[in-house]
C-alpha cells in the first residue's frame, strides 16, 4: 500500500495568471519548501498602492514544516515580498551569491538582514530538505546567476525552469542555460515540468546578448552627442556591455540613480562587473567633457515618476538638461501597465530635442524569457510526463499548455493551474487537483499592509474620478442659527474661481435645507445636504463628487 505521507503537493500562491507575484509552496511528508517570494507592481487603478504581495496565511499555518526558501533569481517579482514574510518564519534562504547579495541589501532597508540565514549555492549543487531534494541548474536570464531547479520527491522528479532563455551565442560561459544538466537530471524520467510562459506568444528565438552588443556598438560608432542609457538596474551583463563600449569608443560613464549606482557598486565588489575606476566620472563633471565623450547610465526604464530619466524629460533634473543631439537608449522592455508612462517620457524627450531608441524600433534589448522555439527545446530536453505552465497571464498559460502538447505531452496531462489551485502527485504516477486554498493580493501602502481593501480603493477611485466637495457649517447651539458658513470647498471637482456662481448656488441650497430641518437634527441635516448637492451637481455638470458635510454645533 502506498505511503500517503509521501504524496507530493504543489500549491501556487502567485504568478499563475499574472506577471509577477511569483510564489509557490511544495510539500511532501514532513517537509515544505517555498520557491520564490515576489511582488507585483500595482495597476493604474490601484491608487496610492506601492506594491502587491501574496497572502502568506497558507505558509504561516505550516511554518514548522518550512525547511527552506528557494529563490531562482534576483528580480523583484521573485524576491520583493521577502521582507513581509521573514519576520514570521524561521527558514534559510538558498540562492546564488549575487541574488543573496541583492536580498541582503533589500532586507537591510527593513532592518532584517541580521536575522536571516542566507545560504549560497552553485550550479549542479544538490540540497536535501528531508523528503524533498533540490538540484540547482544555471539558466540564462536578464539578470546574472539565475537558477532552474531539478526537484527530487518520492513521487518522481520535477523540473522547474525558473525564468530562462537559451542564448545560442553567449558572450561568456557565466550566463548560459545548462541544458546538459537538465538532460542528465531528466534522464531517469520527469513526472512534472513547470516552465516560464512569459514569451510564449513570440515565435523563434529571443535575440542574443551578442546581437544586442553588436547593435549597441553600431550605435556608439555613429553617435556624435551624449548617449543616455536607461535599463533595469539589475541587468549587470548589459551594464558591462555599455561600460566596455564606452571604453572602446573613448567615452566616460556617469551614473544617475541610486538603484543603478548601488547595484554597480555591489557587482564590482563581488567581482561580477569589471570596470576601471578611471572610466567613471561624477554627474557634476559631465559638463567638463565634450558631448561625444560621455555615456550616462540612468534609472527610469519604466517611466517611474521620480527616476532620473523622467526628471530629465520634465526638465527637473538637478545636474543636467536634455539638449539637441542627445541620444537616449531605452534598453529594456515595456512592462505591461507602464506603457503610457514610458511613451509620455519618450514624447517629452523628443520635444526637448533628443533622439530615442527603444525595443520596438531598434534591436537594443533582448528579452530574458524564452520564445516558442526555446520553450520547445526545453520541453524536448526534459520530456515530462505532466506539464504545468507558470509565470504568465492566463492567455500565456493556455498557449504554453498547447505548445507542450505539440511537443509531445499528452493533452490530458498538460494542465492549467491558477493561483490557489493545489496539485497533488501520487506514488502511482497519477495526479489530482485538490480543493482551492485561499489566496489574495495584499496591497502595501506605505507602512500599511493589507489595510487597504476594495472599499477604500473604491473611495479613492471616486475621489480620483469625480473629486471632493466639503461643506462647512457652524451652528449656534443656543439660538439654533448659523454662526458661520456655509463655506464650500472644492478639491479635484471644479476650479473654484471659474465656477464661483455654481458654488454660490450650492450655498443657497444648503441654506434652504437648513431652514427646513428641525433644530438639533444634525445627522438628518448632513444627509439632506449630501443628497441634495449630489443631485444638483449631477443635474448642472453631470458630475458626481464625494460630498462631505461638516456641521458643528457650538
Residues that are catalytic: 196, 369
- 441 known ligand binder: no
- 498 known ligand binder: no
- 445 known ligand binder: yes
Query: What CA–CA distance (Å, rounded) separates 497 from 501?
Result: 9
Integer angstrom CA distances of residue 183 from 381, 382, 468: 6, 6, 62
- 64 known ligand binder: no
- 96 known ligand binder: no
- 105 known ligand binder: no
- 332 known ligand binder: no
- 303 known ligand binder: no
- 367 known ligand binder: yes
Q: In what order do the strands lie in the sheet with 294-298?
A: 252-256, 294-298, 227-230, 327-330, 355-358
- 337 known ligand binder: no
Sign of CA dihedral 106, 110, 111, 116: negative
Residues with Cβ within 8 Å of residue 504, at least 6 apart in sequence? none
Query: What CA–CA distance (Å, rounded) separates 216 from 357?
Result: 11
Query: What CA–CA distance (Å, rounded) separates 295 from 246?
Result: 7
Helix 179-186 / helix 372-382 crossing angle, nearest 10 deg: 40
- 3 known ligand binder: no
- 61 known ligand binder: no
- 396 known ligand binder: no
Contact 208, 408 (CB under 8 A): no
Contact 441, 457 (CB under 8 A): no
Cα 384 from chain centre: 30
- Grid cell of 189 as nine digits: 524520467
- 160 known ligand binder: no
Residues with Cβ within 8 Å of residue 117, at least 6 apart in sequence? 91, 92, 93
Phi/psi for 28 (5° steps) reads -155, 120
What is the maximal distance between C-alpha atoms in the chain?
92
Query: What CA–CA distance (Å, rounded) separates 472 from 506?
Result: 12
- 233 known ligand binder: yes
Q: What is the CA radius of gyration of the chain?
A: 29
- 365 known ligand binder: yes
Angle at 167 between CA 399 and CA 119, to 5 degrees: 90
Sign of CA dihedral 204, 209, 212, 214: negative
Binding residues for Ca(2+) are 48, 50, 445
Binding residues for substrate are 233-235, 365-369
Binding residues are 48, 50, 73, 75, 77-78, 141, 163, 233-235, 365-369, 391, 445
Amino acid at each position: 500500500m502506498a505511503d500517503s505521507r509521501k504524496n507530493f503537493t504543489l500549491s501556487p500562491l502567485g504568478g499563475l495568471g499574472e506577471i509577477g507575484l511569483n510564489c509557490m509552496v511544495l510539500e511532501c511528508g514532513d517537509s515544505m519548501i517555498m520557491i520564490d517570494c515576489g511582488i507585483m507592481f500595482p495597476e493604474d487603478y490601484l491608487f496610492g498602492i506601492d506594491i502587491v504581495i501574496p497572502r502568506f496565511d497558507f505558509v504561516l499555518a505550516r511554518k514548522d514544516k518550512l525547511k527552506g526558501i528557494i529563490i531562482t533569481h534576483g528580480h523583484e517579482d521573485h524576491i520583493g515580498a521577502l521582507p513581509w514574510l521573514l519576520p514570521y518564519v524561521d527558514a534559510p534562504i538558498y540562492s546564488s551569491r549575487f541574488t543573496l547579495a541583492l536580498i541582503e541589501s533589500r532586507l537591510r532597508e527593513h532592518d532584517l538582514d541580521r536575522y536571516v540565514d542566507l545560504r549560497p549555492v552553485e550550479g549542479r549543487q544538490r540540497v536535501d530538505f528531508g523528503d524533498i531534494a533540490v538540484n540547482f541548474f544555471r539558466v540564462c536570464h536578464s539578470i546574472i546567476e539565475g537558477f532552474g531547479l531539478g526537484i527530487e520527491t518520492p513521487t518522481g522528479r520535477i523540473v522547474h525552469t525558473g525564468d530562462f532563455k537559451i542564448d545560442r551565442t553567449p558572450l561568456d560561459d557565466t550566463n548560459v542555460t545548462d541544458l546538459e544538466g537538465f538532460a542528465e537530471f531528466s534522464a531517469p524520467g520527469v513526472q512534472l515540468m513547470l516552465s516560464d510562459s512569459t514569451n510564449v506568444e513570440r515565435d523563434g528565438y529571443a535575440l542574443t546578448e551578442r546581437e544586442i552588443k553588436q547593435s549597441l556598438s553600431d550605435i556608439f560608432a555613429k553617435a556624435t552627442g551624449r548617449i543616455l542609457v536607461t535599463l533595469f538596474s539589475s541587468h549587470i551583463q548589459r551594464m558591462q556591455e555599455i561600460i566596455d563600449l564606452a571604453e572602446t569608443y573613448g567615452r566616460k560613464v556617469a551614473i544617475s540613480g541610486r538603484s543603478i549606482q548601488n547595484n554597480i557598486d555591489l557587482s564590482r565588489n563581488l567581482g561580477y562587473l569589471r570596470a576601471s575606476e578611471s572610466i567613471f566620472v561624477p554627474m557634476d563633471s559631465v559638463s567638463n567633457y565634450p558631448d561625444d565623450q560621455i555615456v550616462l547610465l540612468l534609472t527610469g526604464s519604466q517611466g517611474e515618476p521620480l527616476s532620473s530619466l523622467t526628471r530629465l524629460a520634465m526638465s527637473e533634473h538637478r545636474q543636467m538638461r536634455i539638449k539637441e543631439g542627445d541620444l537616449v537608449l531605452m534598453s529594456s522592455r515595456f512592462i505591461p501597465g507602464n506603457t503610457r508612462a514610458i511613451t509620455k517620457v519618450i514624447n517629452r524627450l523628443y520635444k526637448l530635442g533628443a533622439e530615442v531608441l527603444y525595443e520596438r524600433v531598434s534591436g537594443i534589448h533582448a528579452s530574458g524569457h524564452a520564445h516558442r522555439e526555446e520553450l520547445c527545446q526545453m520541453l524536448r530536453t526534459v520530456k515530462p510526463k505532466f506539464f504545468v505552465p507558470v509565470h504568465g497571464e492566463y492567455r500565456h498559460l493556455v498557449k504554453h499548455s498547447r505548445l507542450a502538447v505539440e511537443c509531445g505531452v499528452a493533452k490530458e496531462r498538460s494542465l492549467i493551474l491558477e493561483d490557489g489551485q493545489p496539485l497533488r502527485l501520487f506514488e502511482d504516477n497519477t495526479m489530482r487537483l485538490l480543493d482551492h486554498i485561499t489566496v489574495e493580493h495584499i496591497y502595501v501602502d506605505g507602512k500599511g499592509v493589507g489595510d487597504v481593501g476594495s472599499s477604500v480603493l473604491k473611495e479613492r477611485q471616486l475621489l480620483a474620478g469625480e473629486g471632493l466637495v466639503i461643506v462647512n457649517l457652524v451652528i449656534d447651539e443656543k439660538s439654533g442659527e448659523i454662526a458661520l458658513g456655509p463655506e464650500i470647498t472644492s478639491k479635484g471637482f471644479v476650479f473654484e474661481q471659474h465656477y464661483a456662481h455654481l458654488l454660490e448656488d450650492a450655498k443657497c441650497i444648503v441654506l434652504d435645507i437648513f431652514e427646513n430641518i428641525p433644530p438639533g437634527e444634525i445627522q438628518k441635516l448632513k444627509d439632506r445636504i449630501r443628497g441634495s448637492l449630489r443631485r444638483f451637481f449631477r443635474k448642472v455638470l453631470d458630475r458626481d463628487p464625494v460630498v462631505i458635510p461638516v456641521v458643528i454645533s457650538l
